[in-house]
Amino acid sequence: MKENKILTGRGGKYEPLDVKGYEADGGFAGLKGALAIGPESVIEEIKRSGLSGRGGAGFPTGAKWEMAAREKQEPKYFICNAEEGELGTFKDKVLLDGDPWLVLEGILIASYAIGAGQSYIYINGEYEETVKLWEKLVVEARKAKLPGDGISGSKSSVDLQVIKGKGLYITGEECALISSLETRRATGQLKPPYPTQRGLFGRPTVVNNVETIANIPVILSMGAEEYRKLGTAKEPGTRLFCLSGDVKKNGVYELETGSGTLRELIEEFGGGTKSGRGVKAVQPGGGTSAFLSGRSVDCKLSDEAIRQAGSGLGTAGVIVYEEGKSAVGIVKGLLDFYGRESCGRCAPCRIGVVRMKEIIERLFHGKGTTEDLEHLREIGKACVSVSTCGMGQAFPLPVLSALELFPEDFEAVIAQAPA
């Protein structure tokens, strides 16, 4: 299994603010190509490439752009989502720091394709140095002569605001992110209307993840046909796998989808588990993805294969847990986090996460009963089916899958409980 660095290959090859260095290394070929074929053909090309969103939900990027481009309302907005708050996910930072001009080029192409007047990049507030870098980068970009400058009548085509996130996990969800930019409480929203119809300030808005955006210039410079040859037929391209947890070497590895198995990723790139014991469980798509048991780690690294195994590729944040850990403790840790971060807009998530946390804590301290397990299942399923946004629909998945896969761990803590 070998990396194929179509996105991360240029990382660190030029000084982050050096636009000439980027250009000398083949930069802006995608943007030039986009300007030559026009917005509609750009969207067609992205649709043909089969690119889907890399922020967790996997929505087809070309279709999203087309929906926004079709809307008549002006102005339109483009937002690059660099909030990246999901547990076990740290791939966007690699791109933002290592090859910022690639991401900027993607933002310019996207804004051009959908006809956005103003664009934003919303960066996780914990990435302080990255925010500083991007503020300088925008100044440099306005000074530099970029392809496309002057075509919209303005001197520079770069109309990008760098926004530093203010410490809430939920702002990674697109509707909450939009509320935040409107100077409101960050909360999920009922859909439809979708942001592509009525988004920021009620205008058509496209929100894309950093990794998605980094794919855009690459697709346009190599062509959709070539791009489709990478990865599997259903999910073309590469994914940045963030390997963390109980492995010897954490890191971000760019692999074509379907090019290997979870086991190979853990063993070849992660150097195996920390203690050398076997793998007990893996969360393959960030902290809100369902667990796979150690027996399922031979599945291929594609969303399709991982879904068949019972989870999803999500953000490709692969968190490994080794044998000897109790699922109760792991789930308690996850619920501690999500319990703090529920935005409180809808009842199932707001109440459900607290009740589930209480039950898990009771179990963890050896005071749980078998009825508690049934309650956990019931509340979890309710949250999944009726929560407003992706967070409420997803945070119970690890709990539900843990109950399914590791019932013995829960039984063990119940057996300790005084009768």
Partner 1 sequence: MEKFGTARYQKMLNDIGELGVENLFGFLGKVQDTFGYVPREVIEDTARRTGLSPSRIYGALTSYRDFNLKLEGDG
Measured from the CB atom, is 40 or 128 closer to partner 1?
A: 128
166, 234, 295, 381: residue in contact with partner 1 (rule CB under 8 A): 166
- Closer residue to partner 1, CB minimum distance, 218 or 343: 343
Q: 163 vs 218, which CB is nearer to partner 1?
A: 163
CB of 347: closest distance to partner 1 in angstroms?
18
Instruction: Check binding of 244 to partner 1 (CB under 8 A).
Output: no
Q: Which residues contact 407 (CB under 8 A, 6 or more apart)?
A: none
Residue 201 in the binding site for partner 1 (CB under 8 A): yes
CA 124 – CA 84 distance, rounded (Å): 6
Total of residues contacting partner 1 (CB under 8 A): 18
Dist. CA 258–CA 233, nearest whole Å: 10
AA letter at 202: G
User: Smallest distance, Å, CB 56 to partner 1?
Assistant: 22
Pure H helices in 276-326:
303-309
Question: Is there binding between residue 162 and partner 1 (CB under 8 A)?
Answer: yes
Q: H or E element: which one contains 209?
A: strand 205-209
Q: Is 167 in the site for partner 1 (CB under 8 A)?
A: yes
Per CB under 8 A, does 181 bind partner 1?
yes
Helix (H) or strand (E) holding 81: strand 76-82
Does position 184 interact with partner 1 (CB under 8 A)? The reply is yes
280's enclosing H/E stretch is strand 279-283
Please, which residue, 160 or 243, has the CB nearer to partner 1?
A: 160
Q: Which is nearer to partner 1, 53 or 204 (CB)?
A: 204
**CB of 190 vs partner 1, minimal distance in Å:** 19
Q: Does 125 bind partner 1 (CB under 8 A)?
A: yes
Token pair recorded at residue 130: 């990255």
C-beta separation of 198 from 25 below 8 A: no
Q: Fill in the amino acid letter for 51.
A: L
Three-class secondary structure of residue 268 per DSSP: helix
Query: Cβ 245 to partner 1, closest distance in Å?
Result: 25
Query: Shortest approach of partner 1 to residue 333 CB, angstroms?
Result: 19
**Hey, which residues between 83 and 122 contact partner 1 (CB under 8 A)?**
118
Decide if residue 281 touches partner 1 (CB under 8 A): no
160-164/116-123 β-pairing = parallel
Answer for which of 8, 81, 157, 180 binds partner 1 (CB under 8 A) is 180
Point out which span in 58-66, 177-185, 372-380, 387-395 binds partner 1 (CB under 8 A).
177-185
CA separation for the pair 179, 187 (Å, rounded) = 7
Minimum Å distance from CB 116 to partner 1? 12
List the structure tokens of 173: 């969800």
Q: Is 163 in the site for partner 1 (CB under 8 A)?
A: yes
> Which residue, 161 or 275, is less far from partner 1 as judged by CB?
161
Which of 218, 228, 401, 231 minimizes the C-alpha distance to 316? 231
Query: Between 40 and 182, whose beta carbon lies closer to partner 1?
Result: 182
- Our measurement of the distance from residue 271's CA atom to the centroid of its chain's CA atoms, rounded to an integer in Å, reads 25
Residue 320 C-beta-side C-alpha neighbours within 13 Å: 34
CA dihedral angle for residue 403, residue 346, residue 316, residue 261, rounded to 10 degrees: 30
- In the complex with partner 1, the residue whose CB is nearer, 138 or 399, is 138
Q: How far apart are CA 419 and CA 415, in angstroms?
A: 9
| Beta carbon nearer to partner 1, 185 or 249 | 185
Binding flag, residue 137, partner 1 (CB under 8 A): no
Work out whether the CA dihedral 356, 169, 349, 246 comes out positive or negative: negative
Q: What is the contact surface with partner 1 in residues (CB under 8 A)? A: 118, 125, 161-168, 180-186, 201
